[in-house]
C-alpha cells in the first residue's frame, strides 16, 4: 500500500491528486488498485497517512509519540438536537416564543429531558452540551 501523489499545472494553476493505492500481480503483470481518493483531505491528514504508511512495520514507535498528545472531549450535540427537534414537532418552541425568556424556557425543557435536576444543574449541563450552537435562533443579542 502506498500514497500516489501527482501534480499538474494547467494555465498557471497547480492541481494535486492524492490516491491511496496498492500493487498486486495478475500473472506476470503488476497492477494497481485505488483504495481511496484522498484529494479532498486536509494536508495534515495526508501527512499523517504518509507517516503511518512509511512506518507501518514499526507502529509501536508511533504509539509512543501519541502518548504525548492530549485528548479532550468536545461538547455533545446529539441529545440537544434530537430533543429540540421533538420539541419543534410538538410546538413547544412556538409556544414559548422567540424572546430571551422563551429561549431559556426551552433550554429548561430540553435540560429536563436530557438530565433531571435543578435549574442550576441545567446551567451546568449547558457547559457539557452545545446548547447555544444547535439552532441559530438561540443566540441572543447582547
Question: Is 72 inside a domain boundary?
Answer: no
How far from each other are the two terminal CA atoms of the chain, in whole angstroms? 54
Are 21 and 54 found together in one domain?
yes
Flag whether 133 is in a domain: yes
pLDDT for the residue 66: 65
Residues 85 and 132 in one domain: yes
Residues 6+ apart with CB under 8 A from 125: 111, 114, 115, 117, 131
Question: What is residue 120's predicted lDDT score, i.e. its pLDDT?
Answer: 87
Total tally of structural domains belonging to the chain: 2
CA neighbours within 13 Å on the CB side: how many for 104? 7
Whole-angstrom distance, CA of residue 32 vs CA of residue 132 = 49
* 69 assigned to some structural domain: no
Cβ contact 18:41 at 8 Å:
yes
Q: What is the mean pLDDT of each run of 10 residues along the chain (142 residues)?
A: 91 92 93 92 87 79 66 76 89 89 88 88 81 56 44
Asked, for residue 66, whether it belongs to a domain, the answer is: no
In a domain, 65, yes or no: no
Domain boundaries, position 17: 2-58
One domain, residues 18 and 46: yes
Question: Is the residue at 98 inside a domain?
Answer: yes
Amino acid at each position: 500500500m502506498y500514497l500516489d501523489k501527482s501534480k499538474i499545472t494547467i494555465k498557471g494553476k497547480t492541481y494535486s491528486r492524492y490516491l491511496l493505492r496498492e500493487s498486486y500481480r495478475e500473472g506476470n503483470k503488476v497492477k494497481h488498485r485505488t483504495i481511496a481518493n484522498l484529494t479532498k483531505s486536509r494536508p495534515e491528514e495526508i501527512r499523517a497517512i504518509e507517516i503511518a504508511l512509511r512506518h507501518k512495520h514499526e507502529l509501536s514507535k508511533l504509539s509512543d509519540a501519541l502518548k504525548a498528545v492530549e485528548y479532550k472531549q468536545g461538547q455533545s450535540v446529539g441529545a440537544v438536537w434530537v430533543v429540540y427537534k421533538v420539541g419543534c414537532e410538538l410546538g413547544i418552541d412556538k409556544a414559548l416564543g422567540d424572546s430571551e425568556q422563551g429561549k431559556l424556557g426551552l433550554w429548561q425543557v430540553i435540560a429536563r429531558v436530557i438530565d433531571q435536576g435543578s435549574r442550576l444543574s441545567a446551567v451546568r449541563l449547558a457547559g457539557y452540551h452545545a446548547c447555544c450552537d444547535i439552532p441559530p435562533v438561540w443566540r441572543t443579542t447582547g
